[in-house]
Amino acid sequence: MTTTVPTTAALALGDDALVLSHRLGEWAGHAPVLEEEVALANIALDLLGQARVLLSLVGDEDELAYLREERAFRNVQLVEQPNGDFAHTIARQLYFSTYQHLLYDRLATGDGPFAPLAAKAVKEVAYHRDHAEQWTLRLGDGTDESHERMRRACEALWRFTGEMFQPVQGLDVDGEQLRSAWLESVGEVLRRATLTLPEGPQSGAWSAGAGRQGLHTEPFGRMLAEMQHLHRSHPGASW
Amino acid sequence: MATAAAQKTDHTAPYDGDGTAATAGYERAFDAAVAADERIEPRDWMPDAYRATLVRQIAQHAHSEIIGMQPEANWITRAPSLRRKAILMAKVQDEAGHGLYLYSAAETLGTGRDELLDKLHSGRQKYSSIFNYPTLTWADVGAIGWLVDGAAITNQVPLCRCSYGPYARAMVRICKEESFHQRQGYELLLALSRGTPEQHAMAQDAVDRWWWPSLMMFGPPDDESQHSAQSMAWKIKRHSNDELRQRFVDICVPQAESLGLTLPDPDLKWNEEQGHYDFGAIDWTEFWEVLKGNGPCNEQRITQRRRAHEEGAWVREAAAAYAAKHSETGATRA
């Protein structure tokens, strides 16, 4: 009994985890408290672990991570967004880990090709979601400044959230159902944080599903240049 | 943990400031406990100078873990394979964790993390001079693992028997993780050494740059070390700087040979009579300059640390405000 690996879906999920892990890795040595150095690195490591499993389903993990160009990456644009301030990072994490939690929860229950991975990852992403939720509450319902920063971050990243619910070939989930569960969950956290769901569209007309099709935002190319530089400077070397 | 251990010792004598006669008694009990290799615990009486020395040493140790994240974190986003990237992230994460253990150990002596961080940021407390050197290539990550962590372990293993209980216990946990990092650093260098000629050269260059600064990690020579004698009498320290430095050289020489790399010291040779390796003179001028703040990265390291702290102020204020609001209403989650 062989299951053909749904390459498109594995790349999409693997790239999401790889890219967000990289962004979180940029926080090392810059976090607002030591406990967050540990927490952000921990989340980054979990995501990197997921990325390695997913990319290995498709081919060689290092070839895929280090030798593809920007147009070949399939991650959603949300995860490639620069860290910004801590509120930005937390808003990105809340949006994404809520999606990932709902998605892996569904994938774990089926007998599809991603069930074993999802069963393990769902525990990790439940922790990530909880971490983002706790910080959303503290920042939203903290001081006037933190409230304002959190509000701005939620607004700024909102336009990138619709992409997560676009259909992905080989991923057997109902996007609309996922979106309504996501809206309910994120809406509830924001309400408790004295914030509201942003009002604008969840994706600009120009960006519906764009990352999944290899169309990325400008900062992404620079991120890849840094990530891939050393590996590309030594073709064929092993590390 | 500390309290439970304190109850087991019979020299427990909470300080109540009731005059010199009692103090003399406490001092005798303290000296006897140290002489008997018992552990001093937070609630025990201890000489003020012992407390001050420990605060200084543990704080400096904690600061070194925190500043030490920077040279390695410098390569997280450029690590050349996903496996190496995961190892490096885990290592930098461990260092933050070690900093947390050590600040907790320092806090048992009646100081606070905020106060210690403030002293770090204002330059009133130091961190290990080694972290004022830059990581210029990927191989530096391996050299730090092998040499810098190797030197740290040589220094820290005896601290697992340090007379102050909380510090000794923190060191047991830290040394386990450090040994793991050290092996990973060695393995990274081995992969480079056996790789392409460019990779081999990269590894050799890193070892050339990190060797002498690593030897300086053991501190000034014994005759110039101001705290050594007292720390040894109190059993905070168990071996002299020069003794530990020699031990480290003896361990590293054969390791360098099996790595296929050389150590940048023409005077390094086996001394049959002594049963040790002789090695060349350390540039103590460089050491003192780095310690005074004039090393290659002193300014950069402290500026980044301060900036992270300052830019994080609004986050810490938000957490405090949220906690205050929700403890009043009883709505705080456990």
* Chain A residue whose CA is closest to B142: A239
- In this prediction, residue B57 has a pLDDT band, given cuts at 50, 70 and 90, of very high
* Identity of the residue in B73, B99, B317 whose CB atom sits nearest the CB atom of A143: B317
B chain contacts of residue A141, beta-carbon cutoff 8 Å: 322, 325
Chain B nearest-CA distance from A142, in A, is: 4
- In this prediction, residue B44 has a pLDDT band, given cuts at 50, 70 and 90, of very high
Chain B nearest-CA distance from A41, in A, is: 6
CB A123 within 8 Å of CB A154: no
- Which region among A205-219, B120-134, B226-240, B249-263 has the lowest average model confidence (pLDDT)? A205-219
CA distance A163 to B76: 28
A chain contacts of residue B307, beta-carbon cutoff 8 Å: 30
* Chain B residue whose CA is closest to A55: B82
pLDDT of residue B63: 98
Which phi-psi region, left, alpha or beta, contains residue B260 (left: φ > 0; alpha: ψ -120 to 50)?
Answer: left
**Locus of tokens 């456990």:** B334
pLDDT of residue A111: 86
Q: Is the CB of A84 inside 8 Å of chain B's CB atoms?
A: no
Would you tell me the crossing angle of helices A34-58 and B82-107 to the nearest 10 degrees? 160
CA distance A226 to A219: 11
CA distance A197 to B237: 58
In this structure, which amino acid lies at residue B60?
A: Q
B chain contacts of residue A38, beta-carbon cutoff 8 Å: 93, 96-97, 100
A chain contacts of residue B86, beta-carbon cutoff 8 Å: 45, 48-49, 52
Q: Is the CB of A227 inside 8 Å of chain B's CB atoms?
A: yes
Tell me the percentage of chain B whose pLDDT exceeds 70: 92
pLDDT of residue B5: 43
B chain contacts of residue A137, beta-carbon cutoff 8 Å: 322
- In this prediction, residue B118 has a pLDDT band, given cuts at 50, 70 and 90, of very high
CB A114 within 8 Å of CB A13: yes
Strand (E) or helix (H) holding B289: helix B284-289
pLDDT of residue B18: 55
* Identity of the residue in A48, A229, A237 whose CB atom sits nearest the CB atom of B199: A237
Q: Is the CB of A239 inside 8 Å of chain B's CB atoms?
A: yes
DSSP letter at B40 equals B
Between B318 and B226, the higher pLDDT residue: B318
Interface test with B, best of A146, A224, A232 (most B CBs within 10 A): A146
Beta strand extents in chain A (DSSP E only) = none
Take residue B146 and report the two structure tokens written for it: 């092998």
Q: Is the ipTM beyond the 0.90 threshold? A: yes
CA distance B188 to A203: 44
Among A177, A156, A159, which residue's Cα sits nearest to residue A167? A177
B chain contacts of residue A30, beta-carbon cutoff 8 Å: 304, 307-308, 311
CB B42 within 8 Å of CB B105: no
B chain contacts of residue A65, beta-carbon cutoff 8 Å: 82
DSSP letter at B305 equals H
pLDDT of residue A5: 72
CB B144 within 8 Å of CB B178: no
- Write down the architecture of domain A7-165+174-196+208-233 according to CATH: Up-down Bundle (1.20)
- In this prediction, residue B17 has a pLDDT band, given cuts at 50, 70 and 90, of low
Radius of gyration of chain A (CA): 17
Chain B nearest-CA distance from A33, in A, is: 7
Q: What is the dihedral of CA A115, A119, A120, A124, to 10 degrees?
A: 120
Tell me the percentage of chain B whose pLDDT exceeds 90: 88
Classify domain B27-328 at the CATH class level.
mainly alpha
| DSSP 3-state of A142 | coil
Among B127, B22, B20, which residue's Cα sits nearest to residue B69? B127
| DSSP 3-state of B221 | coil
CB A80 within 8 Å of CB A223: yes
pLDDT of residue B42: 96
Interface size A-B, in CB pairs within 8 Å, comes to 141
What would the pLDDT profile of B230-247 be if each residue is shown by its tens digit?
999 999 999 999 999 999
- Taking an 8 Å cut-off on Cβ atoms, the answer to whether A33 and B93 are in contact is no
* Chain A residue whose CA is closest to B322: A142
Q: Is the CB of A225 inside 8 Å of chain B's CB atoms?
A: no
pLDDT of residue B65: 97
Interface test with B, best of A15, A38, A90, A130 (most B CBs within 10 A): A38
- Taking an 8 Å cut-off on Cβ atoms, the answer to whether A28 and B322 are in contact is no
Mean pLDDT over B187-201 rounds to: 98
Would you tell me the crossing angle of helices A34-58 and A7-25 to the nearest 10 degrees? 160
* Chain B residue whose CA is closest to A87: B315
Sketch the domain layout of chain A as residue ranges.
7-165+174-196+208-233
pLDDT of residue A200: 86
Residue A208 CB partners (closer than 8 Å, separation 6+): A162, A163, A166
pLDDT in tens, chain A (239 residues): 345 678 999 999 999 999 999 999 999 999 999 999 999 999 999 999 999 999 999 999 999 999 999 999 999 999 999 999 999 999 999 999 999 999 999 999 988 899 999 999 999 999 999 999 999 999 999 999 999 999 999 999 999 999 999 999 999 899 999 999 999 999 999 999 999 999 988 887 666 779 999 999 999 999 999 999 999 999 999 99
CB B110 within 8 Å of CB B44: no
- Taking an 8 Å cut-off on Cβ atoms, the answer to whether B89 and A33 are in contact is no
B chain contacts of residue A239, beta-carbon cutoff 8 Å: 80-81, 83-84, 138, 188, 191-192, 195
| DSSP 3-state of B32 | helix
CA distance A49 to A21: 9
Chain B nearest-CA distance from A177, in A, is: 30
pLDDT of residue B330: 53
Residue B223 CB partners (closer than 8 Å, separation 6+): none
Sketch the domain layout of chain B as residue ranges.
27-328
What is the end-to-end Cα distance of chain B in Å, rounded?
A: 22
- Taking an 8 Å cut-off on Cβ atoms, the answer to whether B322 and A141 are in contact is yes
Mean pLDDT for all residues in chain B: 92
Q: B313: buried, middle or exposed (CB in 10 Å: 19+, 13-18, 0-12)?
A: exposed
Mean pLDDT over B2-26 rounds to: 57
- Taking an 8 Å cut-off on Cβ atoms, the answer to whether B318 and A231 are in contact is no
A chain contacts of residue B76, beta-carbon cutoff 8 Å: 25-26, 28
- Taking an 8 Å cut-off on Cβ atoms, the answer to whether A48 and B89 are in contact is yes
